[in-house]
Structure formats: structure tokens, C-alpha cells
Amino acid sequence: MAQAFFRFFGELNDFLPSVQREQTLVAPLNGSVTVKHLIESLGPPHPEIEAIFANQEPVNFEYVVQSGDRVDVHPVSTVNGVVRVRPLRPPLTPPLRFVLDTHLGQLATYLRLLGFDALYRNDFDDAELAQISATETRVLLTRDRGLLKRKCVIYGYCVRVSEPRQQLVDLLRRYRLTAAIQPWRRCLRCNGLLRTTAKAAILDQLEPKTRLFYDDFQQCDTCGQIYWQGSHHARMEAFVTEIMAAVNCEL
């Protein structure tokens, strides 16, 4: 029987059963089949893949696998410094923008807190998420690897852990985003941009104690939500400091 041999590197092993990790896998070949199809049939979704080598030669997703081929598949973390790589997609250009699936609402809030464009609704269906990611050049964040395997998805990341703070740390590390952090720039509620607003313009929307003790305000230019530096602001600043420390510690 015609067959090819696959080896997955780095975090791509997360998508394999434990007994197959760090092992050479045998894939039967039934007719003409692309390397992308075979890779995804074994587990990893294509947006997680940064480089593919067939018999030590760089190839793209459309490469038709031949019997006896030895295919090495790399994530971004294991191709640093490798010169002979065939690009699998156009490079992402900053600022990065995200769209998140319905299970990642807290992560969306955290990303907005740090100033990132994070599109989220709790009623997005999979087709909408994939289409938004493709048409708006947004990185699709999800815990559903099947969603990432949709053909139209170009950029995406499968969130590995369930704890939102660790999700954020992992994402900042994966895309090297610490230099792009700009807190207090986006609305936590709707993702709109915040702008400085005069106290007099919003006075009728403030609680009595807020009117008395605070003078500096921001307002979302999309939903109108008002922000000021109350006690919650100190907690948010502490959170940002904590996240930055965690990212720097793990780099």
C-alpha cells in the first residue's frame, strides 16, 4: 500500500493522541491527496502550521504527497532561524485583530483591556466566525480545532487551556504582543474605541458620588459606556502588571 511518513514538531503534538506524540506517523495514500488534507486528517489544523518539508524540501499546502515521502510539519516556535521555508500564507501585519468564539468571552474582555481589537458576540455561529476571520483578516481564536480546519480560515490559534488569564498569557507569547499593549484604549463592553470626554457633557449620566469625586472621563464612541479612574481602575492596573510579569517570566 502507498504510504507517507509524518512527523509533527513542538506544540503541534498537542493535537495528537498521547501515544502518537513525538512519533513518526504512517498515513496511507488513497489516490492524489494534498499534504494539507493529510495533516488535518492526522490532527493539527492548518492555521497552526508554519512550515512543511517533504524529504527535507520546503513545500506548501497544495503539495501532492507521494508514496514514501517523509514529511516534517512545524509550528511557528520550531522554525525560527530556518532559512529555507516556503510561506504558507501572507504574513500578518500589525496591528493584529482578533475574532473569538462564543466560549472565550472573558479572554475577549482581557484583550480589550490591553487595547487589542477583539471582536466577540455570544451568538456567533461557526460559519460567521470563519467568514469574519477571512474577510476582515482577523486571527480566529477558538478551542474548536474543527472550526480552524474550515477552508476559508487563514489565520487562527487553538486556545489550549481553560483558565482565561493563562489563555491571555499564552496568546501574548504566541504572537509576541507585549510591545503592542495599550491599556484603556477600548471599551470592555463592545470593543469600540475610547475617547476623552468633558465631564459637563456627561454630567446627567453620572451617579452623585462619581460627580463629586471624579473629573476625568472617557467614553466609548460606539456604545456610549463611560469610564473613569475609580477603585476598579487600580485593580485593572494591577492585573495588567501581573500579566506582563507572567509573559516576561515565561519568555
Model confidence pLDDT, tens digit, residues 136-172: 999 999 999 999 999 999 999 999 999 999 999 999 9
Q: In degrees rounded to 5, what are phi and psi of residue 218?
A: -125, 155
- Tell whether 107 and 57 lie within a shared domain: no
**CA end-to-end span of the chain, whole Å?**
45
Residues 140 and 72 in one domain: no
What is the reported pTM?
Answer: 0.94
Mean pLDDT of 218-235: 92
Rounded CA-CA distance 38/54 in Å is: 13
Q: Give phi and psi for 34, each to the nearest 5.
A: -80, 160
- With bands split at pLDDT 50, 70 and 90, how would you rate the model's confidence at 79? confident
Mean pLDDT of 79-100: 88
Nearest residue to 71 via CA among 108, 40, 110: 40
How confident is residue 92, by pLDDT bands cut at 50, 70 and 90? very high
DSSP alpha helix (H) spans, 78-225: 105-113, 126-135, 145-148, 164-174, 199-202, 208-213
- Assess whether 175 and 113 both reside in one domain: yes
Identify the domain containing residue 124 by its residue range: 97-183
In a domain, 56, yes or no: yes
Among 33, 51, 78, where does a domain finish? 78
What integer pLDDT is reported at residue 82 of this predicted model?
Answer: 64
Is residue 158 a part of any domain in this protein? yes
With bands split at pLDDT 50, 70 and 90, how would you rate the model's confidence at 84? Answer: confident
Q: Rounded to whole angstroms, how far apart are CA atoms 60 and 209? A: 61
Domain boundary residue among 183, 211, 235?
183
Q: Could you tell me if 66 and 137 lie in one domain?
A: no
3-state helix, strand, coil in the chain (%, to 5): 35, 20, 40
- Do 161 and 109 share a structural domain? yes
Q: Once rounded to an integer, what is the mean pLDDT over residues 80-86?
A: 73
Q: 56 with 102, same domain?
A: no
What is the share, in percent, of the chain residues with pLDDT greater than 90?
Answer: 90
